[in-house]
Chain A
Amino acid sequence: MAYSEKVMDHFANPRNVGEMSDADGIGEVGNSKCGDIMKMYIKVRDNIITDVSFKTFGCGAAIATSSMATELVKGKPIDEALKLTNKAVMEALDGLPPVKVHCSVLAEQAIKAALSDYYIKQGIDPETIVGKATECDES
């Protein structure tokens, strides 16, 4: 199993890593038993994700996909971020080994979980917009 150069770059120099004290939405997916947890923080102004950061417990691919997912939604309108797919994250990283595909799914879910949390805080039911969140998905 070998990671692409892009994966190694995002693993060794993760973008947007760290806590955000004034986040408008926080999402956490995965669990420690499965070996990966991703936590995403977003800041929203006028329906645009103005800032995003993450914290991840997991393997190299988990860290790299978190980093890439934050890059892909940063500065984007919410409706565009909602369209983020695990496939897009994988493609942006020049692919992942088959056993690591679930990490990209987790990254997509983490972004969506943060958006759900944002809607809840706005008093809006997120389910119709974001959909239901699933955990520890092995796809």
Chain B
Amino acid sequence: MQRIVYADNAATTRLSEKAFEAMKPYFCEYFGNASSLYKLGGQSQKAVDNARMLIAQCINAPQPNNIYFTSGGSESDNWAIKGAAELGERKGKKHIISSKFEHHAVLHTLEYLEKHGFEVTLLDVHENGLVRPDELEKAIRDDTALVTIMFANNEIGTIQPIKELAEIAHRHNVVFHTDAVQAVGTVPIDVQDLGVDMLSMSSHKFHGPKGMGALYVRKGIRLPNLIHGGGQERGLRAGTENTAGIVGMSIALKESVENMAERNARLEKMRDRLIEELLKIERSRINGDRINRLPGNVNMCFEGIEGESLLLMLDLQGISASSGSACTSGSLDPSHVLLSIGLPHEIAHGSLRLTFSDENNEEDIDYILSKVPQIVERLRKMSPLWEKIVKESK
């Protein structure tokens, strides 16, 4: 039988068995509306309260009511950014600072705000994929309403100096938000130590159910309503709670946090071996900083080939991966993340992202290493671009 290697855990993860089991009773048995008075409703309310407490503990939030449940990372980002923009606007502040390689949930929200009169400064992330704190300091103006910088990049896995960046923002009395979708459940997060005002997370990135997320909001930030209606989420985001989803998210996060240190030591070893071996392929490169990097992220470019055909060939061998090529982004341009770290188009087209979770092992790395070099060679053999590269180097 062909080996199946799921190496796209930055896209989504398998639901944890524990989370699945914990969710089950809340579909048919404890189906009550958490807002209802009778016992059945109370059971749901209790489950939601417990989950909120558990999630608050996992990121060291001071109070459970700092946690607002949402439908996922994109909603959390939209709410935090538009909300902070509205708060800023009330004081005449219409400038926002972010970075060039944010997720589209952030970038497209900022584009929307630009159409409504906001000015946006996107910080450079340089060739290593890291924001420079001194450049944030220089970009802050009197009318800056918000700084929003992602915790870890979804494509190249680089981890930003969030604590330092938040300190700089606060020194200038500016609200600081971080899109931590790729980081929560993956690396240690302590919102009090980091000093962030708001933090977005997404459940399905840490083996929780899809369609669930949360926004951490520090006490004192009076975020405007997202959904008008009932009194759920302290009246800020109306709508009957997704009890099963909320429970599943909290159990998955607890599990991810509990075995984090052991898991990351193992993943880092696997990651570094894979990178070292893949770098032996002629004209290959690793994208993003090697040190400040998510434990399960490998992002490489192989010159002379195109990413989508590489992915299809890998899929034929049972390996699920991802790429930042134009053909996978549905446009003529390759990923904005790879362009933001200064890669030329033709190199960015040949990118490969492999992202690992607790469910991967050394045998998976062996299997990937037995396939990638031969596929790269096969595609290069039929590539007129590779022919040119070889000719020019002679």
Contacts and interface: CB of A to CB of B under 8 A. Distances in A.
Interface stretch (A33-41, A44-52, A72-80): A33-41
Contact of A57 (B306, B313, B332): B306
Interface in B280-333: 304-309, 312-313, 316, 325-327, 330, 332
A112 to B, nearest CB: 17
The size bracket of the interface on B is 20 to 34
Contact of B327 (A17, A39, A59): A59
Given A99-B330, A138-B332, A36 B382 contact: no
Nearest to B334: A35
B386 interface: yes
Contacts, number: 73
A56 B332 contact: no
Given A34-B326, A35-B349, A55 B384 contact: yes
Contact of A32 (B308, B327, B385): B385
Contacts of B325: 35, 59
Given A11-B312, A58-B309, A17 B382 contact: yes
A50 B37 CA distance: 83
The size bracket of the interface on A is 20 to 34
Interface string B339-370: 00000011001000000000000000000000
A14 B346 contact: no
Contacts of A62: 306, 309
Nearest to A19: B387
A99 B308 CA distance: 13
A33 B332 CA distance: 8
Interface of A: 3, 8, 11-12, 14, 17-19, 28, 32-39, 54-63, 99-100, 138
30 contacts: A8-B312, A11-B312, A17-B382, A19-B387, A28-B384, A32-B345, A32-B349, A32-B385, A33-B345, A33-B346, A34-B326, A34-B332, A35-B306, A35-B326, A35-B327, A35-B334, A35-B346, A37-B383, A37-B384, A38-B384, A55-B382, A56-B382, A57-B304, A57-B383, A57-B386, A59-B325, A60-B308, A62-B309, A63-B382, A100-B327
Interface of B: 304-309, 312-313, 316, 325-327, 330, 332, 334, 345-346, 349, 381-387
